[in-house]
Structure 1
Amino acid sequence: MLPRFILASQSPARRRLLQQAGIEPECMPSQFDEDSIQSPNPSHLVESLAIGKATVIAQKLAKSSPQSAVVLGCDSVLAINGEIHGKPDSPSHAIERWQYMRGRVGELYTGHALIQLLPTGSSRQLVRCAMTQVHFAQPTDRQIRAYVASGEPLHCAGCFALEGKGSLFIERLQGCHTNVIGLSMPLLRQMLGEMDCDVTAFWR
């Protein structure tokens, strides 16, 4: 029987990343109140949000019978010149954001929180942050409007999806590319290893 791997998120992109790596997660959106966490430090912000999401699900599971499970919580933001950007509020906001981002370099931060639940009823947790530099291209105003009209950037931290149409407007990345999609797979492997979990044990 495979150990339980639970993703405290409803993110299709994160789920796909795990599935492509052979892990079929149980998706349990935490409904964590993200507005309850405020910080001007992007790494601290995403780490706090990630552990908040993972903790909600871990506590729900702990109320049932003791079991072995790993709960993963993640959250991402984009920072440009020290200013933090999450999901855009509206299409007009997304257009303004892209007009600002084009030709610039941003830093995409993703917080990763793992909580391991043990059959004894105890648990342990790890929290890490990965950062990838994103070099934006210079799309025209018409291209920006067309991209926003597609709806894709309205649901993404940083106002773009690397695995979608947004890839056309990214010149290059410095760092982990899956981190930009929402989950650093190398970091996940490392964190599982620190918990004495072999990532291949979760392969379906």
Structure 2
Amino acid sequence: MPRLVLASQSPARLATLRSAGVTPDVVVSGVDEDKVLADAADRFGELDPADAVLVLAQAKAEEVASRLEESRDDGGPVAALAQDLSDVIVVGCDSMLEIGGTIVGKPADAATARERWRAMRGTKGVLHTGHWVVDLRDDASGGTGGTIGSTSSTTVWFADIDDDEIDAYVATEEPLYVAGAFTIDGLGGPYVERIEGDHHGVVGISLPLLRELLTDLNIPWRTLRDA
């Protein structure tokens, strides 16, 4: 059975996979996101949001995959996992909210989160989540050596909430730790009026898109589910 390694520290992504019957190992990537985007802009020009999240997802997945391959004998924190990579697949993700053509990431502080919500309320945005999969499996396990990805984009309509409601939500500190300063599966859920697209993509990992990417690597989704 293939083993999935999630290259993300997001509790929401981990919970989404677990709720679908998949329990991944977690290895958090160490990429410098600003540097990755700057390097990509130098090479390809200005990136649109859908491409930016894909570039970051690829960087995260490939950094973790490389670290696993290099950690078999170094005694580091991932050395135990790295001892046998014959059935391992790594998935990296990154999410950004686009409003009016502008990319909105995690707010730096509470004041920024309040400002964002005052601009977002009563409007809509597009939540882009990049996904990248690296196949580390060996030939005996059906490995392809593939490294592929794609982006899930979902339109989100926000409620027209007042300043008191915004202040109360920001005071929970939840908006400080998530792309776009909101969640759909947590305390921010009541402030999302509707979506057009994949709900899971807004949470941070699109299960249908991940299934499609894995299918392209000849990995049926059912083989990932816990016995």
User: Shared topology, TM-score over 0.5?
Assistant: yes
Q: Which amino acid is 2:56 matched to?
A: L
Deviations 1:24-81 (A, max 9, x none): 0000001211111335410111000000000011112223365221100000000001
4+ residue runs over 4 A deviation = none
Q: Any gaps of 5 or more consecutive residues in structure 2?
A: 38-45, 73-83
Which of 93, 109, 115 pairs up with 1:74? 93
Residue matched to 1:87: 106
Q: TM-score, normalised by structure 1?
A: 0.96
Give the CA deviation at 1:124. 1.0
**1:37/1:45 contact within 8 Å kept:** no
1:46 aligns with 2:65: no
- Aligned positions, number: 203
Q: Give identity over the alignment, percent.
A: 40
RMSD over equivalenced CA pairs, Å: 1.3
- 2:194 is the alignment partner of 1:176: no
- CA–CA separation in structure 2 for the residues paired with 1:122 and 1:176: 28
SS in 2 for 1:10: coil
1:5 and 2:4 are equivalent in the alignment:
yes
Counterpart Cα distance in 2 of 1:18 and 1:113: 15
2:135 to 116, 126, 133: 116
Summarize deviations over 1:129-165 as a string: whole Å, max 9, x none.
0100000111110000000000111101010011111
Gaps (5+ residues) in structure 1? none
Offset from partner CA, 1:77-123 (integer Å, 9 cap, x none): 00001000000010000000000000111000000000011215972
CA distance in 2, matches of 1:189, 1:101: 31
| Counterpart among 165, 168, 177 of residue 146 in structure 1 | 168
Contact 2:95 2:130 in 1 (8 A): yes
What residue identity is the alignment partner of 1:24?
Answer: T
The residue that corresponds to 2:207 in the other structure is 185
Using structure 2 for the length normalisation, give the TM-score.
Answer: 0.86
